[in-house]
Every structure is written in C-alpha cells, then in structure tokens.
Structure 1
Amino acid sequence: MIGLDTSHVSAFAKLLNDHTQEYHVPGGRIVAAYPGGSPDFELSWSRLTGFRQELADNYGVSIMDSPAEVAERCDAVLLLSVDGRLHLQQLQAIAASRKPVFVDKPFAVNSEDARAMAALSREYGFPMMSCSALRYAGALTAALQDAEQGAVIGADYYGPLEIQPTQPGFYWYGIHTAEMLFRTMGAGCQSVRTTTNADHDQVVGIWADGRVGTIRGNRRGNKTFGGLVHREKGTQFVNTAAVAKPYYAGLLEQVMQMFATGVPDVAASETLEIIRFLEAANESRETGLTVQL
C-alpha cells in the first residue's frame, strides 16, 4: 500500500488479510506500506497515524520509507493516497518496477496528470486500473445484468457531493456517481453542462449516440448513493443500500483479478474520459456554459 490516509486502508486490509471476514477476498495480503500524506489536506494528515498503527499492530505490515521500497517488496501495488494531486508523482516513483497498480479514486485531479499516468503504464508495460468502489456496488451490478427490459437508453445517478478545496469540485465525491454512470452508459460522452447552487449540483452529459446521462450531487439532505437505469421497455431503480456486500469487496475482487491476469476491468481510455468528464463538469460549474469533452 502507498498512502495510509484513507479509510480504504483499513477496509482493504481487513478484506485481504483477515480470513475470518465475511467478504474476505483471497489471492493476496498486505505486507508493506508507505504512509505518504498531504500537510495541506486535513482529511489526509489527520488520519495517517491511526491507519499506520492499525496496519503495523493488527496485520504485521512493514512500514517503508519510500514508494519505491514498497514496490520492491511486493508483487502488486495499491496506490491509495487520498490526495489525487500526489498520484502522478507516486506512480513515477514505482513505474520502473513494472508491478501491477491499482490507483484509488480520484485517479487524478486534471486531465494532464491522468494522461501522463496512462503514458507511464504504456511506457513501462505494467497493468493499471483505477475506479471508485461504487462502480461495483451490488445493486448496480444486479441491475446491469438484468437486461430483460432492453438496451440502456440513459441513466441518472445521485450521491453526496462534499467540496474539498484541494480536490476541485467534482473530483472528490463526484467521481463516485460518475463511475456508476460510465459503467452504465459506457464511454462516448461528448459534452456536459452543470447547474449549481449552494446545496446541489447536477451535470447533464450528452453521449455521441444522443443518449443522456446525469449525475446529481447533494450537499444537503440525502447522503446516499443510487440512481435510475433507463431501458427501452422500463426503468430500474438502483438502491445501493439494499445489498449488504460492501462496495469495497466488489472492487477488490476486480483488482485482485487484474493483479492475477494483467487485464484491468476498466480500460485506461475510459478512466481518462471520466477524468475529463469531471474536469469539464467543473469548468461548466464555473462558467455556466456547455463544455465539450
């Protein structure tokens, strides 16, 4: 693990290292970690000590002095730093090891960094995957597998949207609903327009084939995730709270499969489009104009 400043540290360690967990994910265990951290981001520095101690005390994880040392000690890397601004720099530090890498959300907080990270994966030839755990929420998976009502013609998702200055606009929590939207709709969004006020944001995306997909961010009221999948013959409600299995377990299963096979479930091209989608949504949020991807 690289970056011990997120609750995902604890969630992933329990699912991988503790065989007694109900949703234990087999195939690997956490053995080494680098704390990292961002001194200008309270949600980073304030959590480092606790998660570092949990890994060392509960799971016997060795704490390393650099990302490169972690890569040397491991077969694969979970790059979990909560601050997306650090991901390019940390990936640069381990790229030469050519180890498979999962980069936690947000992959990057601008398209330039995202493209540079994808280029590192291609240059050094290591598999890489990045996404939100909400992409693999059980209720969403079930809805997409049930195609009795025909092809997907649109989708609307909602979730909380806290604003963190170091992770501009939609990057911090908008990534969750955006991942749900892109898993449903696929790539191909051409333009976005954002409507915003103090309590809510809504992004309307237009796909190349004319389909419309939206994400709604709430800073007041509803703090849950969910949505609607519109099909040719009906609409499905995606209630993420209706399935007991943690989002992280579904995500970690896909990550471990990527580590074993070298084939990511989410293509780099789609991840780059999602980052650009969020970037364009932020631009529209500031200007009120429709922004082309």
Structure 2
Amino acid sequence: MIGLDTSHCTAFTELLHDENHPHHVPGATVAVAFPGGSPDIELSRTRVGGFTERLANEFGVTIVDSPARVAEEADAILIEAMDGRVHLPLFREIARYGKPVFIDKPLAVRSEDALAIRELAAAHGVPLMSGSSLRYSGAVAEALEGVGGRDRVIGADCFGPMAIEPSQPGWFWYGIHTVEMLYAAMGPGCVRVTASVSAEHDVAVGEWRDGRIGIARGNRSGNHGFGAAIHGKEGTRFADVSAYAKPFYASLVERIVDFCRTGEAAVPIDETIEIIRFMEAANESRETGKPVLL
C-alpha cells in the first residue's frame, strides 16, 4: 500500500485482516506500506501519521521508506494517496515491477496524466484498475438490476456531497464519487458536458453519443447522502446508497482482491480515463458556462 493519508487505508486493511468483521474480505492482507503524504493538503498532512501508526501497531504492517520497497516486497500494489496529482509520479516509480496496481480515485486530475499512466502500464505489462467505491454500492447494483441492467438504461440522475479542495480541481476531489455512479449506470460514450455552479451546488449534464442524458449533482449544503434515480426503458429505480446495509467500500475491496488475483480490472481503464475527461470538461464548463466536448 502506497500513500497512507486517507481513511481508505485503515478501512480496507481492517476488512482484509479482521476475520470477525461482518463484511470481512478474505484472500489478501496488507503486508507492507509507504506513508507518503501531501504537505499542502491539510487532511493529508494531519492524518498520515495517525493512519501509518495504526497500520503498523494494530495490523502489523511493515512501514518502508520508498514506493519501490513496497513494489519489491508485495504481490500487488494499492496506490491510496488521496492526492490525484501524485499518482502518475508514484506509478512511474513502481511500473517497472509489472505487478497489478490499483489506483484509488481519482486516477489523475488531468487527462494527460491519466493517458500517461495507461501508456506506462501497457509498456510494462502492468494490470491496472482504478475507481470509486460508490460505483459498487449494492443499492446502485440493485437499481440497475431493477431496470434490466446497464443495457436497458436510458438515463440517470445521480447526486452526492461535493466539498471543494483547491489542490484537486472542482469535481475531482469528491464529485468523482457521483460521476462514478453515473458511469456505473450509463457506461462510457459521453460526448459533451455542460455544467452549472453556485456557492452550494454543482450540476454537470452529460450528453451521450446515442442521445441519452446523464446528470451528476454535487451538494455542499442540504443533503449530504449519495443516491441515484436510474431510468430504464420500462421504469425508474431509486438507489439510496446510505440506506444499504453493506458498506460500498467493502464491495470495492472484493473487486480489488479479485483484480489482484486475476489481473482483470472490474472497470476497463479506458472507461476510467473517460471519467477523468468528463470531470475535466465539467470543470471547464463550470468556469465558462459553455458546453465542452470530451
């Protein structure tokens, strides 16, 4: 594990190590980790020490002094650093080892970096996966099943909290969770995004090449839960993520373990790169008020 400045580090490790956890995920453990951290992000700077200490003391994780040491000693690698700006440089340090790599959201905060990560992975034969846990919410999965699967979806309206972190532009910090839910429902193929913004809310409207429309709404006041209305050809199903018993991050860890075993990503990297470009286009549109082509 590389980058110990997010609660995902301890939450994922607990799921993997604690056999008594109600949502325990068998098949892997966290053996070695590098703390990292971003000094210009307060949440990173103030939490990396505590998370590192807990991993070492409570779960017996060996703490090392470089990403390369993690890559040398681990069978597969999770880049958990919360700062999307550092994912490409961290990946550059470990790609040559050719081991499966999961990069937590966002894959990058620029589409150029996302494309560079894909190219590096291909050059070194690295199985690569990235994404938000919200896409794997059981509530979203049940709503999709209720409309007959993703092939039957004609549109989706997704919402979630959207705090802003200056170092991670616009949608990239927390809005990505809602955009990932949107893509879980709609699939790839968005061609144009139009965004609106106020002090308390963001809205991004995506137009798909087949004429479908998908909406992502980010809230900074009022409702701080995640949810979606998924529209199918025969009806609409609502997904209330917060009301679902199984934590969505447990479902993500299950996918990560499967990926580390098989090298097959649950989401194609090309879809993840389109999500990065969607948010980049939404950020441009929220500044200009004009539609932006992907």
TM-score interval, normalised by the smaller of the two chains? over 0.9
Counterpart residue number, 1:18:
18
Q: Which amino acid aligns with 1:196?
A: V
SS in 2 for 1:85: helix
Counterpart residue number, 1:171:
172
Instruction: Tell me how large the CA RMSD over aligned residues is.
Output: 1.0
Q: Distance in 2 between matches of 1:12 and 1:156?
A: 29
1:148 CA drift (Å): 4.7
- Name the TM-score, length of structure 2 as normaliser: 0.98
The more displaced of 31-40 and 145-154 is 145-154
Q: Identity of paired residues, percent?
A: 54
Alignment of 1:108-187 (within 5 A): 108-148=108-148, 151-187=152-188
Q: Distance in 2 between matches of 1:41 and 1:263?
A: 33
Counterpart residue number, 1:198:
199
1:145 CA drift (Å): 2.1
Q: Distance in 1 between matches of 2:228 and 2:261?
A: 32
* Contact 2:147–2:233 (8 Å) recurs in 1: no
Counterpart residue number, 2:267:
266
- Name the TM-score, length of structure 1 as normaliser: 0.98
Counterpart residue number, 2:27:
27
Counterpart residue number, 1:7:
7
SS in 1 for 2:156: strand
Question: Per-residue displacement from partner, 1:222-269 (whole Å, max 9, x unpaired)?
Answer: 100001001112111111022111111100111111111111011011
Question: Per-residue displacement from partner, 1:92-130 (whole Å, max 9, x unpaired)?
Answer: 000011110100011100101000001111010011100
The more displaced of 148-157 and 86-95 is 148-157
Q: Which amino acid aligns with 1:69?
A: R
Counterpart residue number, 2:237:
236
Aligned residue pair count: 293
SS in 2 for 1:47: helix
1:220 CA drift (Å): 0.8
Q: Distance in 1 between matches of 2:182 and 2:147?
A: 16
1:146 CA drift (Å): 2.5
Q: Distance in 2 between matches of 1:141 and 1:227?
A: 11
The more displaced of 148-157 and 95-104 is 148-157
Counterpart residue number, 2:248:
247
* Contact 2:147–2:236 (8 Å) recurs in 1: no
Q: Distance in 2 between matches of 1:35 and 1:148?
A: 43
Q: Distance in 1 between matches of 2:92 and 2:197?
A: 36
Counterpart residue number, 1:48:
48
Counterpart residue number, 2:210:
209
1:209 CA drift (Å): 0.2
Question: Which 4+ runs in 1 deviate beyond 3 A?
Answer: 147-150
